[in-house]
Structure 1
Amino acid sequence: MAIQELLEIMEQLDDAHKQLLELAERKRRVLIQNEVDELNRIVNQEGKLSRQIAEWESKRLEAIGNYLIKRGFRPDPRVTVTDLIKMMFKAEEKQALQQAQKSLLDTLLRLKDMHALNQQLIEQSLAYINHSYDVLLGPPEDEVVYHNPSQQQGAQKRPGMFDTRA
């Protein structure tokens, strides 16, 4: 049964996204505690999960194509689950697919919110690092405007991050 296969694939997609959500929550704690090594491990795990999600997504498209062929339609990769629900006649299949879609969408929305929060934390960290850098080394000089080289004899430039004399 093509719908059962699609439901199983959507459940796998939902599970993978829930794992990503758990990683995003761990990432938030790690960002707050400034644990760089743990952050690297989490990013690697996210990469693996993203590859799995891509595989499940291609299987989902294939299952939709198989269902369309079974129903006498030409397979089209642009057909969404919502479109598929509109084509269905059996109420129990339609309801099961709607429930799977709703569950996946809820997980995706929570994941989106968590990623937005983590992005804000990273931006705040970078702003703090830039501020600390400016406090230690002084504000950046405005080097955009041309200055006559003969008039810059006593001007001090902002020191670089690395000591080139070493």
Structure 2
Amino acid sequence: MTAIQPLIAVMDDLVEQHQELLKLGYRKKESLISGTIDELAKIVQEEGRIVRSVAKLEDERQKTVELFLCSSGLSLSDVTMTDVIQFVTHSKEKKQLLEIQEKLTQTIQEIQELNQLNQQLLEQSLAFVNHSIQLMTETPEQNMIYKKPNQKRMGQDAQHHPGSSRGFFDAKA
């Protein structure tokens, strides 16, 4: 086994975990569209678990890169995967790392795009909820478009008639 094999294994695990995040992102999108809050909460918990796993794998990846560079007699700081790939001597391993790097980059890009879409869906849902709350809490007279020219709106006359400016839920007991 060459010194680069542990790095290939860690990178494979990173790709796998990111693909799981992508699947969860699609499930989250469906949950946001359908409005299933319980499902959304489960997905968020699962995402948290996977993100913690990715953080551990990233630490492991950094350590394996350092070990590979030390075993190759190199000591570089702020090394990118492209730099590491240049130092790999076996063409098969170099090809494997290039493929893994491409998969990981593509998956991360898909996750970012999906997260942007999910954020927009969430913002639309919140706007709808806020609008619904606003409609339910304003008085029915505030919704009227037409009124008699000499008639005052309920809120304007509230000083003379306390309690006349009631919301929808306060109108009847």
In the superposition, the TM-score normalised over structure 2's length comes to 0.76
How much has 1:159 moved relative to structure 2?
8.6
Structure 1 gap segments, 5+ residues each: 140-152
Q: Once superposed, which parts of structure 1, at least 4 consecutive aligned residues long, lie more than 4 Å away?
A: none
Deviates more, 1:90-99 or 1:34-43: 90-99
User: In structure 2, what is the equivalent of residue 126 of structure 1?
Assistant: 126
In 1: Cα distance, 2:3 partner to 2:38 partner = 44
Partner residue of 1:87?
A: 87
1:52 and 1:134 map into 2 onto residues whose CA distance is 42
Aligned to 1:146: none
Q: Deviations over 1:73-101 (max 9, x none)?
A: 2253x211011122333322222111110
Specify the structure having the higher radius of gyration (Cα): 2
Task: Please report how far the alpha carbon of residue 33 of structure 1 lies from its aligned counterpart in structure 2 after TM superposition.
Answer: 1.0
2:112 is matched with 112
Aligned counterparts of 2:138 and 2:83: Cα–Cα separation in 1: 59
C-alpha distance in 2 between matches for 1:159 and 1:56: 58
Looking at structure 2, the residues matched to 50 and 159 of structure 1 have their Cα atoms a distance apart, in angstroms, of 48
Note the 1:31-42 alignment, pairs <5 A: 31-42=32-43
Corresponding position of 1:154: 159
Residues 97-149 of structure 1, C-alpha deviations (whole Å, 9 max, x = no match) = 1111001111111111111111110010011111112222239xxxxxxxxxx
Q: Deviations over 1:47-85 (max 9, x none)?
A: 000010001100100010001101112253x21101112
Secondary structure of 2:27 counterpart: helix
Note if 1:69 corresponds to 2:70: yes
Is the contact between residue 4 and residue 88 of structure 2 (CA under 8 Å) also seen in structure 1?
A: no
Q: Which amino acid aligns with 1:57?
A: E
| Unaligned 5+ runs, structure 2 | 140-157
Q: Name the residue aligned to 1:148.
A: none
What is the Cα deviation at residue 36 of structure 1? 0.8
What is the number of residues matched between the two proteins? 146
Distance 1:103 1:129 in 2: 38
2:12 aligned partner? 11
Aligned-partner Cα distance in 2 for 1:86–1:96: 13
TM-score by length of 1: 0.79
The answer to whether the 8 Å contact 1:69/1:75 transfers is: no
Which secondary structure state, in structure 1, belongs to the residue aligned with residue 57 of structure 2?
A: helix
Give the partner amino acid of 1:97.
Answer: L
